[in-house]
């Protein structure tokens, strides 16, 4: 972690610990000459922390506005590449196969997107992949309306109408054949005849899947059939094979990332809408993916859940699971920031009172309890601070009290 990112991590922790507004404002002003990327800003979880704990601080709101303006611009610039990768990924995975139901519903909702590029993409996929006719008939009216302004919608209309015309011709031919057979074989029905050809082997009817696979669980060709014909690769050297496999793996990862991010954007839009039905559907859809917490932070999912005006059970479950996942993924990062605050106790960079308040926040994490308790045993903290920061209550409610914890409790009582 470079020094600039460390200072933003320190700022994030001070905001979470709710240190004085003046201290946070001063820190933000000092950091204004050292901007960071939006990725680092997300890694510090500053968007969520500012909205939860520092929305009343003008400097914090201004910092968040700068960040969001920059991120909006970046996302707009990256949009074309993201959508093209999303299209290519779905075509690679589902071409010639029946797409899962979750994709049906997702594309149907994408037709209602306020960003026209997403609507165009939805119509492209609906045209180039093969869905059930019943599904097409449910959206054809919208496509007919949209084709006046979106030419991709016209592609879908042409496809559906072509299929319908073909089915009409087939039905007419079948009706005609039935009429001809009725005229030719009028009279008593002949007994059925069973012809056996010893030169023909009886073929078994292929098994049909009763249900379409309802997930994005795709497998590379090498994993699907290790014994398949390697036609076209016989002359490859080991180095060429390794390079090709690396490229395929990289493309595969890009596919997964693109699909996951587009679905994550849908979750963010659903949470912003406040529509509980849309939220439930979006949460169910995103459950098909295992995405890095950074993607959730990029779309500020925790903040959006926290700001919901109503209680949604599945959203809160996601919130709790995500916080636990973040603890695992960012564990090393959190440890580095903790040691940075320990160093501040021996310096004049930050008032020791603010460091102790941050330590009170770290006390809630069992991993830091032993070191934090020692800090308080050796530090100059008043009884009021122990009580106001919730330290006394936390220690008394602790189920397993070490000797140091008991000693600190006694110290507080004697103050």
pLDDT tens, position by position, 212-258: 445 454 433 444 444 444 445 556 676 676 776 777 778 788 888 89
CA 141 – CA 133 distance, rounded (Å): 13
Q: What is the mean pLDDT of the segment spanning 120-146? A: 94
Q: For a pLDDT cut of 70, what percent of the chain falls above it? A: 81
Helix (H), strand (E), coil (C) string for the chain: CCHHHHHHHHHHHHHHCCCCHHHHHHHHHHHCCCCCCHHHHHHCCHHHHHHHHCCCCHHHHHHHHHHHHHHHHHHHHHHHHHHHHHHHHHHHHHCCCCCCHHHHHHHHHHCCCCCHHHHHHHHHHHHHCCCCHHHHHHHHHHHHHHCCCCHHHHHHHHHHHHHHHHHHHHHHHHHHHHHHHHHHCCCCCCCCCCCCCCCCCCCCCCCCCCCCCCCCCCCCHHHHCCCCCCCCCCCCCHHHHHHHHHHHHHHHHHHHHHHHHHHHHHHHHHHHHCCHHHHHHHHHHHCCCCCCHHHHHHCCHHHHHHCCCCCCHHHHHHHHHHHHHHHHHCHHHHHHHHHHHHHHCCCCCCCHHHHHHHHHHHCCCHHHHHHHHHHHHHCCCCHHHHHHCCHHHHHHHCCCCCHHHHHHHHHHHHC
pLDDT above 80 (res 399):
yes
198 compared with 285, residue with greater pLDDT: 285
Rank 1-5, 83-87, 306-310, 322-326 by mean pLDDT and report only the highest.
Answer: 83-87
In this prediction, residue 414 carries a pLDDT of 87
In this prediction, residue 226 carries a pLDDT of 42
407 compared with 415, residue with greater pLDDT: 407
In this prediction, residue 200 carries a pLDDT of 39
pLDDT above 70 (res 179):
no
Question: How far out from the chain centre does Cα 191 lie?
Answer: 63
pLDDT above 70 (res 29):
yes
Rg of the chain on CA atoms, in Å:
31
Look up residue 400 and give its DSSP letter: S
pLDDT above 70 (res 207):
no
pLDDT tens, position by position, 34-47: 888 899 999 999 99
pLDDT above 90 (res 10):
yes
pLDDT tens, position by position, 340-389: 999 988 876 677 889 999 999 999 998 999 999 999 999 888 999 999 99
In this prediction, residue 170 carries a pLDDT of 55
pLDDT above 90 (res 49):
yes
pLDDT above 90 (res 300):
yes
Q: Residue 361: CA atoms inside 13 Å, Cβ hemisphere, count?
A: 18
Crossing angle of helices 58-94/238-273, nearest 10°? 130
pLDDT above 70 (res 182):
no
Whole-model pTM above 0.85?
A: no
Contact 14, 342 (CB under 8 A): no
């Amino acid at each position: 972690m470079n020094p600039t990112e460390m200072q933003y991590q320190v700022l994030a922790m001070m905001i979470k610990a709710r240190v004085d507004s003046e201290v946070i404002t001063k820190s933000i002003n000092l950091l204004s000459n050292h901007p960071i990327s939006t990725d680092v800003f997300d890694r510090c979880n500053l968007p969520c922390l500012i909205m939860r704990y520092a929305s009343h601080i003008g400097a914090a709101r201004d910092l968040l506005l700068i960040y969001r303006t920059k991120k909006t611009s970046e996302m707009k610039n990256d949009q074309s590449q993201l959508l093209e990768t999303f299209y290519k990924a779905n075509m690679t995975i589902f071409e010639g196969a029946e797409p899962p139901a979750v994709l049906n519903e997702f594309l149907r909702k994408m037709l209602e997107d306020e960003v026209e590029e997403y609507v165009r993409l939805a119509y492209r996929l609906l045209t180039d992949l093969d869905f059930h006719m019943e599904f097409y008939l449910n959206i054809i009216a919208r496509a007919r309306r949209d084709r006046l302004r979106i030419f991709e919608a016209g592609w879908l209309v042409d496809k559906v109408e072509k299929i319908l015309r073909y089915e009409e011709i087939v039905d007419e031919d079948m009706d005609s054949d039935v009429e001809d057979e009725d005229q030719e074989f009028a009279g008593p029905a002949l007994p059925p005849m069973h012809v056996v050809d010893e030169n023909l082997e009886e073929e078994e009817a292929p098994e049909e899947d009763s249900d379409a696979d309802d997930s994005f669980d795709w497998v590379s060709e090498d994993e699907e059939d290790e014994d398949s014909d390697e036609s076209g690769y016989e002359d490859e050297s080991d180095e060429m094979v390794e390079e090709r496999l690396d490229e395929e793996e990289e493309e595969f990862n890009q596919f997964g990332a693109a699909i996951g991010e587009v679905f994550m954007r849908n979750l963010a839009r659903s949470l912003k809408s406040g529509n509980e039905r849309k939220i439930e559907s979006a949460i169910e859809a995103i459950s098909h993916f295992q995405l890095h917490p950074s993607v959730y932070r990029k779309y500020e999912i925790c903040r959006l859940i926290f700001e919901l005006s109503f209680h949604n059970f599945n959203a809160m479950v996601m919130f709790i699971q995500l916080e636990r996942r973040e603890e695992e993924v960012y564990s090393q990062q959190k440890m580095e920031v903790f040691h940075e605050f320990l160093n501040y106790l021996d310096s004049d960079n930050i008032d020791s009172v603010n460091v102790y308040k941050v330590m009170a926040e770290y006390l809630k994490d069992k991993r830091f309890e032993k070191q934090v308790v020692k800090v308080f045993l050796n530090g100059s903290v008043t009884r009021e601070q122990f009580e106001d920061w919730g330290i006394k209550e936390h220690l008394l409610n602790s189920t397993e009290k070490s000797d140091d914890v008991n000693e600190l409790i006694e110290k507080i009582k004697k103050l």
